[in-house]
Structure 1
């Protein structure tokens, strides 16, 4: 029965949207009405308000909607949404201050003489405006007012002209910084959490193991990663637009003729190009560059963009006046001064120690004040000239409110959709489709594409994505990243602005196009560009590295990069080692041979045994890695025959689990029907449950009889590979760690030697001073020895001496005895360290350097640049892990 109410929910929402009722109220209104109606009818006909809900009741789902509302504003991890008003402000300010208009006119003059050049200039400017404004309406209107008359006047085809302007105006939806990407990142964050839980449940149900290896976890995403992931696909789309225009101009030169610039391409024109082009490019660099470099979060980058737009508006609105550029010059000088001060002085106020530090902080304060003055000056100009600032603030408030109200309404709609089993229905439908992940993905993308004909991008992002994204992300057969999925959906959603009959870009363009341009011509004009976007979707879908590589590269090269031991990097790290060893194996084994000939008798026996014993592990580790690769190859060969059976059985088992869930729900409903008057309904439910149980038994009978044997054989191959990998990692660590630790000890010889006098003096100080006065000096000296590799025994003795002085009954005798032990240990270490520094250090250092990029890679704190680039490329591809489930 709940399915009827689900259909009613969809019908009410469609009627409300179709009648022109505001989206912000149509979404929650249809949800609340349907939930209340289900509760009232349930009470009237059955006496139970919960009976027509898939699970729970009206109070639970209304409160769930309120919880979702609260989540939008009060969850700390969702602070990314703060960036939305900042980027909206930046875009509207650049558009209102006519900087976008200057850019359009200048680029049209620059590219015009090329066949199709006017169209190329529109695409180029559209890309730049997308990376600065990101406001589709403003971009389309600006380019429609300026470029469309020029293109038509120069005999451009109406279809090409309108299609180019409409398509270029929508680039702001995919080229960062984009509001679409921010919203998608917000939605995909929670979707990835749900997908992770679902995948763990799937692993447990499939294998019987309680815990899933972390290497199979579903990775989350962020707005910064979405921005990075969308850069290359956005440029691919721009490139495809330009190629189409050039080809069109070559085939039909009369429909896209060159437009010759009447002026001269002289120094003055060059200055105009620089002044129009460079400020937006610098702003793009500051906004996106700060995110890529890890200097700023998305919110902070949004503030940078808003401030930069205000500075640019400050000089553009005073164009032609003598002092027009004063605020901009002050801002640039302040920023340059800040950059110099930060690299030259210590500006941490808490760590001020010298007069130079005071000077640095003072200069930094002055530079910041200069920047604030420049912003205030530009803001005052924007406020006084044509009331620009007030108009921008009002438009920003309106647009931001629209976005957030739709987000809030969608939160209630999602709760209602789940209340009537919609999410379960979609999940069952998608999981029941033959063909695996890619069939499900194509269907979802097709649905989003069709919805784009009728709905805005925000409704699609906040209504559809939370339902389908967890299902797609949880599927191990493709193991796609949340970033890739988000960018693919973003590219698809972009078509919602172009597709007739409700494409907003078409409406914006229709509003500013002359009457001679018919609406049908606009519709025809965008069709090639819609096809181009679909081609871009296919390209990005087939080459996921276009999306994943840049976020991976930035993450692995950053200061907070995960160590090579991170389980998510293991597969690619070991793949890198195998390839490296293919060329360096002989050199590595030769270095082992050389280093094993050194005289280790000068070392303490335990240390000598540990180091010399590690040499044999090098060859063992290489052999185990070879065996691991061979085991992986065996799995790959066996999977060709095994995979169809595995897929068939897992699909059957998934259907059985679905039936089990439905049977369990029916048992709950039957348990509630205790009134004698409900006996007929109870019998109907019991009959339905009996049919489901029969279906379950029939499904179970279709599982091949030799499945357990087949699964056991393949699982044994997987376990054999996993066991070899574990042995390799343990052996590699044993091969590298002892020698690396000894080299670190020898490298610290000078520091170790320098602590001798201090250690000798501490004994007399303890004897001559009060115990309480010596605990801190002992602690300091203990920490110094703790920082030196191999001096842990001395550190331990000094710590024991300190504890003897801090006890309730302080004992100088015990403390002095422990210090004496530390001195004896120090003298012994000093002897062998001094000898080993000359006799062993050069050979061991060469040996460790050879081992470090391969056998010793797991001991590194972070990957080297070469390693990071390889691993970034390797992890950018999608890898089928379904056979592990």
Structure 2
């Protein structure tokens, strides 16, 4: 054996050298990966023919040399092609094609928002809102990074956008270079974890299969079936991962903001308050006795109370359905009704908090309508009620709620911050709400997000040119009508026996559909006329092509590793660790180091298929698969900001002013790396952070 390594170990070393050499060569990553697969296979085949790559095995009492390609390189090629045709290709593009379709749609959604300058408006408005606080600009960057992460899901785009817009403003207003660069680089990587994240979508296309394979292997070892072992199928959907990632992502954003505030309080000269906008002409603070915390409490306190009430009632079975020994029990309150109650209640109470001196009669009417809605749903509307029955009981509360919402929205839109923030926030809520609420899967939600982003971009262009935006507003209302019809009526037109109320709902839905379609086509025409559509489509095509070409290239590399038994060797090595948590720590360390030199796409498509069947074979009650996946995502996010090789640091370095040195960026991100480690430790010791939301919300 050469240098004391077995033939398989030497082959893995050859593949690793070829891969990293190809990546460091400067060639596009997709070509480097596929080229390294071809080059390493040729080198291994040549050394195999020369008798230098072999393993020692005892056969019939004698130790014999077994080449890594037992039948020669010709047979290895045929075996590789057979493996490709019998499942690897279909696993990538067959069973997962619906999940992967969400990738170009989410990319389109993010790029449309970015190219329409909505991101710039968000950052400017947030800076005006929080600038007067110590470290306010840094807090604004964190909040905008969170919103952009939930809208773009692309790390590079978010870091570059905020680096171009926010960094000069922060430096001009006396912020330290380290804090400014650190908060921008780190907040930009939230797109790795906050849904709808491209990382989560791509992980979802892989880890579902890995979890199924791992549990099937564990069941075979125990001599039982997966259903007998788990009591349910081994399924891990992308929608579940979105739910699992939501709270960790928000937790990390809050930790970033808390650090920025703490840093500013301790170093007031390095993160001073800044007055970027005009003082509040409405005199809102004076109404709350110049106490901003009292104002914040009045604004978000009702929302917090309603959410806690929602969680409490969901856990006690008052809201939603519970399944006990295959018997379904419906709670007295519908989950959808209470979700509508929370959303409308927040908007109405927010208008009361931010415009307290206005006439309160519409607000009282709206709140009364919400109360009547809950009473009707609890006492008179059964869980299996038809849309017509619901309409009879909901019509009066609905009129009151619409009346209250109309006045509430008009008052809220007087506030510049809400005028700028509300459109993208509404889009994000619609996309995430449809996924987290179990209404639809991520792919359909991505379609909604892409269409909504195009309409928002067109709306912005129309406003800039002083033209009417009514077609887009009517189209948005039509989408809401379709969602309401879909949630309350049976819209299947192929049924032989369709009730009168369902026929009316189908007619209303058809009208709303054509209005929405016209609005979307009109939006596309506006973007084409303003010469914005072409760069949006071009950039979306580039990013999407990169993802899928890397997917194909990584499959080539995986087949090369399989051809000489490398995948089996790695899995056997990992299985030698008896404690699954120790194994997971080792895998996390390896992924963290790989994150310095490989993008998340390569790691997901190359590494996860190899280690996945082993780490996802653990008992899901001890190591929930969603928890493992979110740990991996946060771990990759950490490696993306860790000096000296973090990808986000290179993105920021490319757009930072010349007076900002690389060492300034390194010093700035180190505290945030520590925060990331703290976040990982919290997730490690408290898996409930990731499992709470999937268990609370309905399955997709």
Same fold (TM over 0.5): yes
Alpha-carbon distance in structure 1 between the residues aligned to 2:440 and 2:232: 27
Structure-to-structure mapping, 1:332-347, within 5 angstroms? 332-339=476-483, 341=485, 347=491
| Count of aligned pairs | 551
Q: Measure how far apart 1:441 and its partner are.
A: 1.5
Q: Measure how far apart 1:322 and its partner are.
A: 3.8
Q: In the alignment, which residue of structure 2 is the partner of 1:57?
A: 76
Q: In the alignment, which residue of structure 2 is the partner of 1:215?
A: 230
Aligned counterpart in structure 2 of residue 493 of structure 1, from 628, 636, 639 = 636
Alpha-carbon distance in structure 2 between the residues aligned to 1:76 and 1:529: 38
Q: Structure 1 residues 353, 81: CA separation in 2 closer, same or farther (over 3 Å shift)?
A: closer
Alpha-carbon distance in structure 2 between the residues aligned to 1:302 and 1:347: 22
Deviation sequence 1:434-463 (CA, Å, 0-9, x none):
7x1222211211111111111111111111
Structure-to-structure mapping, 1:267-306, within 5 angstroms? 271-306=415-450
Alpha-carbon distance in structure 2 between the residues aligned to 1:223 and 1:89: 19
Question: Are the aligned partners of 2:103 and 2:544 in contact in 1 as well (CA < 8 Å)?
Answer: yes
Q: In the alignment, which residue of structure 1 is the partner of 2:565?
A: 421
Alpha-carbon distance in structure 1 between the residues aligned to 2:487 and 2:24: 59
Tell me if 1:348 matches 2:354.
no
Alpha-carbon distance in structure 2 between the residues aligned to 1:447 and 1:219: 26
Alpha-carbon distance in structure 1 between the residues aligned to 2:194 and 2:53: 54
Q: In the alignment, which residue of structure 1 is the partner of 2:219?
A: 200
Aligned counterpart in structure 1 of residue 663 of structure 2, from 520, 524, 538 = 520
User: Larger relative contact order (C-alpha < 8 A, sep ≥ 6)?
Assistant: 2
Question: Are the aligned partners of 2:596 and 2:647 in contact in 1 as well (CA < 8 Å)?
Answer: no
Aligned counterpart in structure 2 of residue 462 of structure 1, from 592, 595, 605 = 605
Q: Measure how far apart 1:504 and its partner are.
A: 2.6
Q: Structure 1 residues 255, 28: CA separation in 2 closer, same or farther (over 3 Å shift)?
A: same
Deviation sequence 1:862-885 (CA, Å, 0-9, x none):
xxxxxxxxxxxxxxxxxxxxxxxx
Tell me if 1:368 matches 2:513.
yes
Deviation sequence 1:802-859 (CA, Å, 0-9, x none):
xxxxxxxxxxxxxxxxxxxxxxxxxxxxxxxxxxxxxxxxxxxxxxxxxxxxxxxxxx
Q: Structure 1 residues 77, 149: CA separation in 2 closer, same or farther (over 3 Å shift)?
A: closer
Q: Structure 1 residues 384, 464: CA separation in 2 closer, same or farther (over 3 Å shift)?
A: same
Q: In the alignment, which residue of structure 2 is the partner of 1:174?
A: 193
Q: Structure 1 residues 332, 236: CA separation in 2 closer, same or farther (over 3 Å shift)?
A: same
Alpha-carbon distance in structure 2 between the residues aligned to 1:347 and 1:216: 34
Q: Structure 1 residues 296, 210: CA separation in 2 closer, same or farther (over 3 Å shift)?
A: closer
Q: Measure how far apart 1:303 and its partner are.
A: 0.2
Q: Structure 1 residues 355, 141: CA separation in 2 closer, same or farther (over 3 Å shift)?
A: same
Q: Structure 1 residues 96, 211: CA separation in 2 closer, same or farther (over 3 Å shift)?
A: closer
SS at match of 1:139: helix
Q: In the alignment, which residue of structure 1 is the partner of 2:242?
A: 227
TM norm structure 1: 0.59
Listed as ranges, the gaps of 5+ residues in structure 2 are 1-6, 55-64, 283-411
Q: In the alignment, which residue of structure 2 is the partner of 1:669?
A: none
TM norm structure 2: 0.74
Q: In the alignment, which residue of structure 2 is the partner of 1:21?
A: 27
Question: Are the aligned partners of 1:104 and 1:122 in contact in 2 as well (CA < 8 Å)?
Answer: yes
Moved more, 489-498 or 169-178: 489-498
Alpha-carbon distance in structure 1 between the residues aligned to 2:101 and 2:227: 35
Question: Are the aligned partners of 2:216 and 2:226 in contact in 1 as well (CA < 8 Å)?
Answer: no
Aligned counterpart in structure 2 of residue 161 of structure 1, from 170, 175, 180 = 180
Alpha-carbon distance in structure 2 between the residues aligned to 1:361 and 1:269: 33
Q: Measure how far apart 1:415 and its partner are.
A: 2.1
Q: In the alignment, which residue of structure 2 is the partner of 1:383?
A: 528
Structure-to-structure mapping, 1:744-783, within 5 angstroms? none
Alpha-carbon distance in structure 1 between the residues aligned to 2:610 and 2:487: 48
Question: Are the aligned partners of 1:224 and 1:298 in contact in 2 as well (CA < 8 Å)?
Answer: yes
Structure-to-structure mapping, 1:4-15, within 5 angstroms? 4-15=10-21
SS at match of 1:317: helix
Question: Are the aligned partners of 1:182 and 1:223 in contact in 2 as well (CA < 8 Å)?
Answer: yes
Q: Measure how far apart 1:7 and its partner are.
A: 1.5
Q: Measure how far apart 1:262 and its partner are.
A: 4.2
Question: Are the aligned partners of 2:206 and 2:609 in contact in 1 as well (CA < 8 Å)?
Answer: yes
Tell me if 1:71 matches 2:215.
no
Question: Are the aligned partners of 1:445 and 1:492 in contact in 2 as well (CA < 8 Å)?
Answer: yes
Q: In the alignment, which residue of structure 2 is the partner of 1:31?
A: 37
Structure-to-structure mapping, 1:683-832, within 5 angstroms? none
Q: Structure 1 residues 423, 113: CA separation in 2 closer, same or farther (over 3 Å shift)?
A: same
Q: Decide which structure has the larger Cα Rg and report it.
A: 1
Deviation sequence 1:395-431 (CA, Å, 0-9, x none):
1111001011111111121222233332333233333
Q: Measure how far apart 1:156 and its partner are.
A: 0.8
Q: In the alignment, which residue of structure 2 is the partner of 1:588?
A: none
SS at match of 2:210: helix
Q: In the alignment, which residue of structure 2 is the partner of 1:804?
A: none
Listed as ranges, the gaps of 5+ residues in structure 1 are 561-885
Question: Are the aligned partners of 1:162 and 1:522 in contact in 2 as well (CA < 8 Å)?
Answer: yes
Q: In the alignment, which residue of structure 1 is the partner of 2:693?
A: 550
Question: Are the aligned partners of 2:8 and 2:53 in contact in 1 as well (CA < 8 Å)?
Answer: no
Moved more, 362-371 or 348-357: 348-357
Alpha-carbon distance in structure 2 between the residues aligned to 1:243 and 1:64: 51
Alpha-carbon distance in structure 1 between the residues aligned to 2:620 and 2:435: 32
Question: Are the aligned partners of 1:460 and 1:493 in contact in 2 as well (CA < 8 Å)?
Answer: no
Q: Structure 1 residues 339, 403: CA separation in 2 closer, same or farther (over 3 Å shift)?
A: closer
Q: In the alignment, which residue of structure 2 is the partner of 1:266?
A: 281
Q: Structure 1 residues 47, 536: CA separation in 2 closer, same or farther (over 3 Å shift)?
A: closer
Alpha-carbon distance in structure 2 between the residues aligned to 1:257 and 1:491: 31
Deviation sequence 1:216-252 (CA, Å, 0-9, x none):
7783311111111000000110111111111111221
